[in-house]
Amino acid sequence: MEEPVIYDVQPIKTSLEEGKEYAFCTCGRSKTQPFCDGSHNGTSFKPLRFTAKATTQKWLCACKHTKNPPYCDGTHQRFVKEE
């Protein structure tokens, strides 16, 4: 099974509009993070489509390993290197 590219090791604060549909990038290759731009073509990944339940700001996952997509669950912390 393919692993997603880790785009970043911190989440992306994102403004969402109630009722609007979004396509969350699951592959990590998109240049329009955290949303899909079609860069997954040729891979086994597909965007995660979701509709915002409220107009709000949410932290969306950028490491692409969250267990609660598209939202950050803190999983990115395991990829942060200690200095």
CB 16 within 8 A of CB 52: yes
**pLDDT of the residue at 82:** 61
Instruction: Indicate the number of domains in the chain.
Output: 1
**Structural domain for 27, as ranges:** 1-83
Q: H or E segment at 48? A: strand 48-51
Residues 16, 8, 36: CA angle, nearest 5 degrees: 50
| Per-residue pLDDT tens over the stretch 20-67 | 999 999 999 999 999 999 999 999 999 999 999 999 999 999 999 999
